[in-house]
Structure 1
Amino acid sequence: MRKTQLGIIGSIFVAFALGSFFYPQLPQEMAVHWGLEGQANGYAQKEWGVFGVPALMAAIAILFAAIPKIDPLRKNIGKFLGHYYGFALAIEVFMLYVYALTIAWNLGFLFNFSQALSPAFAFLFYCMGVLVGIAEPNWSVGIRTPWTLSSKRVWKKTHKLGAKLFKAGAAFALLGVLLPQVAIVLVIVPVLLGSLFLVAYSYFEYRKEGKEK
C-alpha cells in the first residue's frame, strides 16, 4: 500500500512537472474541452489549462486520504484498503493520461481526442469493476443506494453484479479505439445504462428480501 501511495504522489508530481516544462511553449488560450466528434470546442486561459488538472489531482488525493478516516463505516473500508488506494492511483493515472493528451494537443499534435481517451476509460472502468467486486459496505465508495446501505445481502449481490457490468463497460469503451466515430457513445452509454440498472436491481433485491422475512 505504501508503494501505491507513493505512486499517487508521483503522478501528481509528474503532472506539475509536465505542465511547468511545457508552459513556455503552450498558447495563451488552451483547448480544454472536446466534442463528440473528438475536436476541441472549449478553451481556457493558459494558467488554468496548465495547472488546473494537477491541482485537481492533488485535491482528489487529499480526499481519498481523508475518506478512510471520516467515513462512518471506516472499519469496513479498512478491509479493502489496498484496493481502495489502488483505485485512487488508477484515477490519478487516468487524469495524468488525459492531461498529457491535453498538453500534446495544445502543442500542435492533432488527433481524435475521443478515440485517444477510449483505452483510458477502459482502464478506469475495469479498475472500478475490481474495486466494486471487493468493496464492503460504506458511505463513500461503491454502489451506494438506500437499499444497498440498508442490507448487507443486497450490497453483496448488487456489487457482485456491478463488478461484471463495469468490466463489460471497459470492453465496450476499448472498442472506441477501433470505432472513433462512436467512441464517446461506447464510453458513456453502456456504463450509464449499467449504473441505472444497478440502482433498480438493488431496489428490487431489497423488496424481495422484505417479502422473504
Structure 2
Amino acid sequence: MRLRSEQVLSLGLWLAVIIFSLWARYQLPDAPIATHFGVDGQPNGYMPRDVALAFGPALMLVLGLLLWILPALSPKGASLKRSQSAFDAAQLAIIAFLAVVQIVVVLKALGVQMDIISILSLGTGFLLLIIGNLLPKTRFNYFMGVRTPWTLSDERVWDRTHRLAGPLFMLAGLVIILAACLLPQSWQMNVLLASTLGAAFVARAYSYLVTKRLR
C-alpha cells in the first residue's frame, strides 16, 4: 500500500517523538514525571518516568493505526474515501497535536520554563481551526464530523450542518487562541471548554432544526 503524504508526515512525527523521548530518558532521573496540570499550570498528576515517556508515542501509534484502518471499515454509501483529503489532513493535525503535548510534557520534566497551559490552549485552538476548515469538505460518513441522529439519517442535514459547523469551530479555535495570548491562565481553560462545547451544542441543535424544517 502506497503511503499518502499526510501519512508519511504522521509517521515522521511519531518517529521524531520516539527519538526525543528516548533521548530524554537518559537525561532525566528515575523519578515520576508530571503529566497533568491544573488551570494554574501547576502539576497535579504524575506517571513513572518510563511510562510517561512511552505514553505519548503509544497513544500516537494506537490512534494513528485506528485512523489508518477506518476508511476500510466504512460502509458503502457513507465511505470516508469520499472525504479522503479532509480525513488525511485531520489525521495529521491530530497526530501533530499529540506530538506537541508529548514534547511539552518532556520539556517541562527537563526543567524548561514555559507557560504550559497557554501552549496547550494554543495547540487546541489551532487544531479547532484546522478541523473547522475541514468540516464543510467532509461528506456523509459514520466516523468523522458532526454525528447526530439527524445528520446520520439524512445527507441533506449532514451537508447543511457541516456548512455551519465549520465556521463555528474555526471561531471557537480563534477565541481560544486569543484567550491564550491575552488572558490569565486561570481563564484559559474555561474559555477553551466553553468555546468547544458551545460550538458542538449549536451544531447539534442546528442539525435538529434543519431536520424539522425539511420535514
TM-score (norm 2): 0.93
User: Paired residue for 1:54?
Assistant: 57
1:109 partner SS = coil
Quote the offset at 1:73 in angstroms: 4.4
User: Paired residue for 1:193?
Assistant: 198
User: Paired residue for 1:178?
Assistant: 182
Are the counterparts in 1 of residues 135 and 145 from structure 2 also a CA contact under 8 Å? yes
Please state if 1:39 is matched with 2:42.
Answer: yes
Are the counterparts in 1 of residues 21 and 53 from structure 2 also a CA contact under 8 Å? yes
1:25 partner SS = coil
User: What are the Cα deviations for residues 76-134 of structure 1, in whole angstroms up to 9, with x where unaligned?
Assistant: 42122022111101111111111111011101123321111122112100111122111
Q: Distance in 1 between matches of 2:101 and 2:166?
A: 24
Instruction: Tell me which amino acid in the other structure corresponds to 2:202.
Output: F
Instruction: Tell me which amino acid in the other structure corresponds to 1:173.
Output: I
Quote the offset at 1:178 in angstroms: 2.1
Please list every run of 5 or more consecutive structure 1 residues that lacks an aligned counterpart in the other structure.
none
Instruction: Tell me which amino acid in the other structure corresponds to 1:15.
Output: V
> What is the correspondence of 1:1-213 to structure 2 with a 5 Å cutoff?
2-27=4-29, 28-73=31-76, 76-175=79-178, 176-181=180-185, 182-210=187-215
Instruction: Tell me which amino acid in the other structure corresponds to 2:200.
Output: S
Instruction: Tell me which amino acid in the other structure corresponds to 1:127.
Output: I
Q: Distance in 2 between matches of 1:166 and 1:126?
A: 6
Q: Distance in 2 between matches of 1:99 and 1:177?
A: 21
Quote the offset at 1:75 in angstroms: 5.7
User: What are the Cα deviations for residues 145-192 of structure 1, in whole angstroms up to 9, with x where unaligned?
Assistant: 010011111111110110001100111111112213312122221111
Which stretch of structure 1 is more off in the superposition, 18-27 or 66-75?
Answer: 66-75
Please list every run of 5 or more consecutive structure 2 residues that lacks an aligned counterpart in the other structure.
none
Q: Distance in 2 between matches of 1:66 and 1:3?
A: 16
The count of corresponding residues between Structure 1 and Structure 2 is 210
Are the counterparts in 2 of residues 73 and 137 from structure 1 also a CA contact under 8 Å? no
Q: Distance in 2 between matches of 1:198 and 1:109?
A: 40
TM-score (norm 1): 0.94
Q: Residue 14 and residue 74 in structure 1: after superposition, are their counterparts in 2 closer, same or farther (change >3 A)?
A: farther
